[in-house]
Structure 1
Amino acid sequence: MDAKVRNNTAHSRYELTVDDATAVAVYEIRDGAIAFTHTEVPRSLSGQGVGSALARGALDDARAAGKKVVPLCSFIAAYIERHPEYKDLT
């Protein structure tokens, strides 16, 4: 997948667009940390690894910015659980 995850700060969400569909990871900034509150992958992109690519891109961006992560969203929490290399962000 060549699509790039982008941080849409105006809408407080990370986005990954594939074809004409966009997956999103919505967040809030809380005490300087990024609190992920909801992740949504359109049905047309389901099962293609788009959600994982979105989570990875968002978490990599948080790390690059020196931010801690609060995984309120079950998808992001499960991704971090499956990928221990991101546990240091929480």
Structure 2
Amino acid sequence: MADPEIRDNAERHQYELPVEGEIAVVTYNLSPPNLMITETLVPQRLEGRGIASRLAKHVIEDARERELLILPVCPFFAAYFQKHPDLADAVHPTYRTILGL
């Protein structure tokens, strides 16, 4: 199930997760059927707590529900998919080849 605390701020083209008064974000460009993930930003004091992975799981699930293919331009997302090749079906075929999935 998608993470209820994470919201898609479509106006700002980012998923947002508020944590302890700060906001971790995943920025994107949407051009259906593609969802290009451009950046993942976690405030420095929140790093190392799995927040980026939590965002990634949510974004992947949301993309699947919306029948979008992810273009992981963001280095974190590219690495996340390489660590989790079982999620390759959510990635655009061109990027599967690039990432060796």
Instruction: Give the alignment's TM-score, normalised by structure 1.
Output: 0.90
- Partner of residue 96, structure 2: none
1:35 is aligned to 36
Cα distance in 2 for partners of 1:62, 1:31 equals 10
CA distance in structure 1 between the aligned counterparts of 2:44 and 2:4, rounded to whole angstroms: 17
Structure 2's unaligned 5+ residue stretches are 92-101
State the distance in 2 between where 1:19 and 1:69 align: 29
After the TM superposition, list the runs of 4 or more consecutive aligned residues in structure 1 that deviate by more than 4 angstroms: none
1:60 corresponds to 2:23: no
Question: 1:1-90 counterparts in 2 under 5 A?
Answer: 4-90=5-91
Q: Work out the number of aligned pairs and report it.
A: 89
* Structure 1 residues not aligned, in runs of 5+: none
Q: What SS does structure 1 have at the residue aligned with 2:63?
A: helix
Farther off after superposition, 61-70 or 25-34: 25-34
Q: Which has the larger radius of gyration?
A: 2
Aligned partners of 1:34 and 1:70 also within 8 Å: yes
- 1:3 Cα offset (Å): 6.6
CA spacing shift, 1:41–1:24, aligned 2, 3 Å? same
Q: Is the 8 A contact 2:32 2:68 kept in 1?
A: no
Quote the offset at 1:19 in angstroms.
Answer: 1.2
Look up the SS of the partner of 2:11 in the other structure: helix
- Supply the distance in 2 between the matched residues of 1:65 and 1:82 (Cα, whole angstroms): 23
Shift of 1:85: 2.8
Instruction: Give the alignment's TM-score, normalised by structure 2.
Output: 0.81
CA RMSD of aligned residues (A): 1.5
